[in-house]
Amino acid sequence: MKRRGRTARLGALVAALVLVGCATPAERVAELAKAHGFERRVLAGAEFEHVVFFNHKPNTNGVLHVYIEGDGTPYLDRWTVAPDPTPRHPVMLPLMALDSAAAVFVGRPCYFGLAREAPCTTIDWTTGRFSERVVASMASVFEQVMAGGGYQRAEIFGHSGGGALAVLLARRLPHVAAVITLGGNLDTDRWCDLHRYSRLEQSMNPARLGALPGAVRQRHFVGEGDDVTPPWLVDAGARAIGAPGAQVLPRVTHTKGWDAHWPAILAGQ
Protein backbone atom coordinates (compact mmCIF):
# COMPACT_ATOMS: atom_id res chain seq x y z
CA MET A 1 0.00 0.00 0.00
CA LYS A 2 2.82 2.41 0.88
CA ARG A 3 4.56 1.58 -2.38
CA ARG A 4 1.39 2.33 -4.33
CA GLY A 5 1.06 5.68 -2.51
CA ARG A 6 4.64 6.64 -3.31
CA THR A 7 4.11 5.71 -6.95
CA ALA A 8 0.97 7.88 -7.12
CA ARG A 9 2.77 10.87 -5.59
CA LEU A 10 5.69 10.45 -8.00
CA GLY A 11 3.27 10.28 -10.93
CA ALA A 12 1.55 13.47 -9.77
CA LEU A 13 4.88 15.25 -9.45
CA VAL A 14 5.98 14.20 -12.95
CA ALA A 15 2.63 15.31 -14.37
CA ALA A 16 3.00 18.67 -12.64
CA LEU A 17 6.46 19.17 -14.11
CA VAL A 18 5.07 18.54 -17.60
CA LEU A 19 2.12 20.87 -17.11
CA VAL A 20 4.17 23.78 -15.81
CA GLY A 21 6.54 23.89 -18.77
CA CYS A 22 4.80 26.91 -20.32
CA ALA A 23 3.26 28.36 -17.16
CA THR A 24 4.23 31.53 -15.31
CA PRO A 25 6.63 31.19 -12.35
CA ALA A 26 3.73 31.60 -9.91
CA GLU A 27 1.71 28.92 -11.70
CA ARG A 28 4.70 26.57 -11.68
CA VAL A 29 5.12 26.96 -7.94
CA ALA A 30 1.40 26.41 -7.33
CA GLU A 31 1.39 23.23 -9.44
CA LEU A 32 4.49 21.85 -7.71
CA ALA A 33 2.99 22.62 -4.30
CA LYS A 34 -0.21 20.84 -5.32
CA ALA A 35 1.78 17.82 -6.51
CA HIS A 36 3.38 17.61 -3.08
CA GLY A 37 -0.06 17.67 -1.46
CA PHE A 38 0.25 21.20 -0.01
CA GLU A 39 -2.75 23.46 0.46
CA ARG A 40 -2.49 26.99 -0.96
CA ARG A 41 -4.05 29.93 0.87
CA VAL A 42 -3.74 33.69 0.57
CA LEU A 43 -3.50 35.40 3.97
CA ALA A 44 -3.57 39.10 4.75
CA GLY A 45 -0.56 40.43 6.63
CA ALA A 46 -0.02 43.88 8.11
CA GLU A 47 0.06 45.61 4.70
CA PHE A 48 0.39 42.89 2.08
CA GLU A 49 -1.27 39.67 1.09
CA HIS A 50 0.86 36.51 1.21
CA VAL A 51 0.66 33.15 -0.52
CA VAL A 52 1.02 30.43 2.12
CA PHE A 53 1.38 26.67 1.60
CA PHE A 54 0.49 24.18 4.38
CA ASN A 55 1.64 20.57 4.54
CA HIS A 56 -1.07 19.71 7.11
CA LYS A 57 1.07 17.30 9.09
CA PRO A 58 -0.29 16.82 12.62
CA ASN A 59 0.75 19.13 15.45
CA THR A 60 2.36 16.55 17.71
CA ASN A 61 4.66 18.68 19.87
CA GLY A 62 3.52 22.28 19.51
CA VAL A 63 6.37 23.15 17.13
CA LEU A 64 5.83 24.58 13.65
CA HIS A 65 8.47 24.60 10.90
CA VAL A 66 8.32 27.80 8.84
CA TYR A 67 9.96 27.91 5.40
CA ILE A 68 10.96 31.16 3.66
CA GLU A 69 12.15 31.27 0.05
CA GLY A 70 15.03 33.30 -1.34
CA ASP A 71 14.89 36.46 -3.44
CA GLY A 72 13.89 34.69 -6.64
CA THR A 73 14.23 36.97 -9.67
CA PRO A 74 14.09 40.61 -8.55
CA TYR A 75 15.95 41.72 -11.69
CA LEU A 76 15.98 40.40 -15.25
CA ASP A 77 19.52 41.77 -15.60
CA ARG A 78 21.66 44.27 -13.69
CA TRP A 79 19.57 47.21 -14.91
CA THR A 80 16.05 45.84 -15.49
CA VAL A 81 13.62 45.19 -12.64
CA ALA A 82 11.55 42.03 -13.08
CA PRO A 83 7.76 42.47 -13.26
CA ASP A 84 7.39 39.35 -11.07
CA PRO A 85 10.11 38.31 -8.57
CA THR A 86 8.75 34.77 -8.06
CA PRO A 87 11.60 32.21 -8.18
CA ARG A 88 11.78 30.08 -11.30
CA HIS A 89 13.20 27.16 -9.33
CA PRO A 90 12.23 27.38 -5.64
CA VAL A 91 14.58 25.75 -3.15
CA MET A 92 12.49 25.64 0.02
CA LEU A 93 9.26 24.16 -1.32
CA PRO A 94 10.88 20.82 -2.30
CA LEU A 95 12.70 20.75 1.04
CA MET A 96 9.42 21.18 2.90
CA ALA A 97 8.16 18.10 1.05
CA LEU A 98 10.90 16.11 2.86
CA ASP A 99 9.76 17.33 6.28
CA SER A 100 7.58 14.98 8.35
CA ALA A 101 6.77 17.69 10.90
CA ALA A 102 3.99 20.26 10.72
CA ALA A 103 5.26 22.92 8.35
CA VAL A 104 4.18 26.02 6.46
CA PHE A 105 5.76 27.91 3.56
CA VAL A 106 5.18 31.65 4.04
CA GLY A 107 5.42 33.60 0.81
CA ARG A 108 7.08 36.98 0.71
CA PRO A 109 5.00 40.07 -0.15
CA CYS A 110 4.34 40.51 -3.88
CA TYR A 111 5.68 37.04 -4.74
CA PHE A 112 3.84 34.02 -6.21
CA GLY A 113 1.45 35.97 -8.43
CA LEU A 114 0.76 38.99 -6.19
CA ALA A 115 3.23 41.49 -7.71
CA ARG A 116 0.45 43.60 -9.22
CA GLU A 117 -1.63 43.70 -6.06
CA ALA A 118 -1.71 46.88 -3.96
CA PRO A 119 0.34 48.11 -2.16
CA CYS A 120 3.17 46.31 -4.02
CA THR A 121 5.83 48.36 -5.77
CA THR A 122 9.08 47.19 -7.33
CA ILE A 123 10.90 48.55 -4.26
CA ASP A 124 9.38 45.68 -2.25
CA TRP A 125 11.47 43.08 -4.11
CA THR A 126 14.51 45.24 -4.90
CA THR A 127 16.05 47.83 -2.56
CA GLY A 128 13.32 47.37 0.06
CA ARG A 129 13.13 43.58 0.02
CA PHE A 130 14.08 43.46 3.75
CA SER A 131 12.24 46.62 4.80
CA GLU A 132 10.34 47.15 8.03
CA ARG A 133 6.98 46.89 6.27
CA VAL A 134 7.94 43.61 4.55
CA VAL A 135 9.08 42.05 7.83
CA ALA A 136 6.09 43.40 9.77
CA SER A 137 3.65 41.94 7.25
CA MET A 138 5.35 38.53 7.32
CA ALA A 139 5.36 38.64 11.14
CA SER A 140 1.61 39.22 11.11
CA VAL A 141 1.04 36.13 8.94
CA PHE A 142 3.41 34.13 11.15
CA GLU A 143 1.38 35.00 14.25
CA GLN A 144 -1.91 34.13 12.53
CA VAL A 145 -0.64 30.69 11.53
CA MET A 146 0.81 30.02 14.97
CA ALA A 147 -2.44 30.93 16.72
CA GLY A 148 -4.63 29.11 14.21
CA GLY A 149 -2.73 25.86 14.61
CA GLY A 150 -2.26 26.03 18.36
CA TYR A 151 1.55 26.07 18.14
CA GLN A 152 3.74 27.27 21.02
CA ARG A 153 7.12 27.43 19.27
CA ALA A 154 8.49 27.81 15.76
CA GLU A 155 11.69 26.97 13.93
CA ILE A 156 12.32 29.14 10.88
CA PHE A 157 14.22 27.92 7.81
CA GLY A 158 15.36 30.48 5.24
CA HIS A 159 17.32 30.23 1.99
CA SER A 160 19.47 33.11 0.70
CA GLY A 161 17.45 36.32 1.20
CA GLY A 162 14.93 34.18 3.05
CA GLY A 163 17.71 33.64 5.59
CA ALA A 164 17.92 37.39 6.15
CA LEU A 165 14.16 37.49 6.70
CA ALA A 166 14.31 34.51 9.06
CA VAL A 167 16.82 36.35 11.24
CA LEU A 168 14.84 39.61 11.14
CA LEU A 169 11.65 37.76 12.12
CA ALA A 170 13.37 35.87 14.93
CA ARG A 171 14.47 39.19 16.40
CA ARG A 172 10.89 40.33 16.96
CA LEU A 173 8.81 37.17 17.44
CA PRO A 174 8.89 35.60 20.92
CA HIS A 175 7.75 32.17 19.70
CA VAL A 176 10.87 31.54 17.60
CA ALA A 177 13.04 28.84 19.16
CA ALA A 178 15.49 28.31 16.28
CA VAL A 179 16.70 29.84 13.02
CA ILE A 180 18.33 27.72 10.31
CA THR A 181 19.66 29.43 7.19
CA LEU A 182 20.90 27.96 3.91
CA GLY A 183 23.30 30.18 2.00
CA GLY A 184 21.81 33.02 4.03
CA ASN A 185 22.38 36.65 3.06
CA LEU A 186 23.19 37.70 6.61
CA ASP A 187 25.20 40.83 5.80
CA THR A 188 23.45 42.55 2.92
CA ASP A 189 25.93 45.44 2.70
CA ARG A 190 28.94 43.18 2.20
CA TRP A 191 26.92 41.02 -0.20
CA CYS A 192 26.06 44.04 -2.35
CA ASP A 193 29.67 45.23 -2.26
CA LEU A 194 30.91 41.78 -3.27
CA HIS A 195 28.69 41.67 -6.36
CA ARG A 196 28.98 45.41 -7.08
CA TYR A 197 25.29 46.00 -6.58
CA SER A 198 23.82 49.18 -5.17
CA ARG A 199 23.20 48.74 -1.46
CA LEU A 200 19.67 47.93 -0.34
CA GLU A 201 19.07 51.36 1.13
CA GLN A 202 15.43 50.75 2.10
CA SER A 203 16.19 47.43 3.81
CA MET A 204 17.41 46.30 7.21
CA ASN A 205 20.76 44.52 7.34
CA PRO A 206 20.75 41.62 9.89
CA ALA A 207 24.49 41.98 10.54
CA ARG A 208 24.07 45.60 11.65
CA LEU A 209 21.44 44.79 14.28
CA GLY A 210 23.69 42.76 16.58
CA ALA A 211 23.31 39.30 18.08
CA LEU A 212 20.01 37.47 18.20
CA PRO A 213 18.58 36.74 21.65
CA GLY A 214 20.44 33.89 23.34
CA ALA A 215 17.25 31.84 23.58
CA VAL A 216 17.13 31.53 19.79
CA ARG A 217 19.19 28.56 18.63
CA GLN A 218 21.10 29.33 15.43
CA ARG A 219 22.48 27.05 12.71
CA HIS A 220 23.84 28.45 9.48
CA PHE A 221 24.82 26.35 6.46
CA VAL A 222 26.46 27.21 3.16
CA GLY A 223 27.52 25.17 0.16
CA GLU A 224 31.19 24.80 -0.66
CA GLY A 225 30.36 25.73 -4.27
CA ASP A 226 28.21 28.76 -3.45
CA ASP A 227 29.33 31.80 -5.45
CA VAL A 228 26.26 33.90 -4.59
CA THR A 229 26.68 33.91 -0.80
CA PRO A 230 30.15 32.34 -0.52
CA PRO A 231 31.24 30.53 2.66
CA TRP A 232 33.42 33.35 4.00
CA LEU A 233 30.54 35.82 3.68
CA VAL A 234 27.97 33.59 5.40
CA ASP A 235 30.46 32.73 8.15
CA ALA A 236 31.18 36.40 8.86
CA GLY A 237 27.48 37.27 8.80
CA ALA A 238 26.66 34.42 11.18
CA ARG A 239 29.28 35.62 13.66
CA ALA A 240 27.88 39.16 13.47
CA ILE A 241 24.49 37.93 14.73
CA GLY A 242 25.93 35.89 17.59
CA ALA A 243 26.43 32.44 16.04
CA PRO A 244 29.75 30.56 16.15
CA GLY A 245 29.97 30.64 12.36
CA ALA A 246 28.67 28.69 9.37
CA GLN A 247 28.96 25.01 8.49
CA VAL A 248 30.20 24.38 4.94
CA LEU A 249 28.52 21.47 3.15
CA PRO A 250 30.22 19.49 0.37
CA ARG A 251 28.70 19.13 -3.10
CA VAL A 252 26.29 22.01 -2.52
CA THR A 253 25.96 25.23 -4.54
CA HIS A 254 23.69 28.16 -3.80
CA THR A 255 20.58 26.37 -5.05
CA LYS A 256 21.53 22.72 -5.63
CA GLY A 257 22.43 19.79 -3.40
CA TRP A 258 20.48 20.82 -0.31
CA ASP A 259 18.06 17.90 -0.53
CA ALA A 260 20.86 15.41 0.15
CA HIS A 261 21.63 17.12 3.47
CA TRP A 262 18.11 18.11 4.50
CA PRO A 263 17.16 14.98 6.49
CA ALA A 264 20.32 15.33 8.58
CA ILE A 265 19.73 19.05 9.11
CA LEU A 266 16.18 18.36 10.25
CA ALA A 267 17.36 15.58 12.54
CA GLY A 268 19.68 18.08 14.21
CA GLN A 269 16.71 20.07 15.42
Query: How many other CB atoms are found less than 10 A from the CB of residue 128?
Result: 19
In angstroms, the Cα distances linking 249 to 187, 194, 261 are 20, 21, 8
Distances (CA, A) of 141 to 13, 137, 145, 146, 148: 28, 7, 6, 9, 10
How large is the angle between the packed helices 161-172 and 132-149, nearest 10 degrees?
A: 70
Q: Which of 59, 142, 69 is nearest to 101 (CA)?
A: 59
pLDDT digits (tens, 9 = 90+) for 103-152: 999 999 999 999 999 999 999 999 999 999 999 999 999 999 999 999 99
pTM over 0.75, yes/no: yes
CA distance 4 to 183: 36
Instruction: Give tens-digit pLDDT for 180-231.
Output: 999 999 999 999 999 999 999 999 999 999 999 999 999 999 999 999 999 9
Residue type present at position 56 = H
Helix (H) or strand (E) holding 188: helix 188-195
**Per-domain residue ranges of the chain:** 38-267
- What is the CATH superfamily name and number for domain 38-267? Alpha/Beta hydrolase fold, catalytic domain (3.40.50.1820)
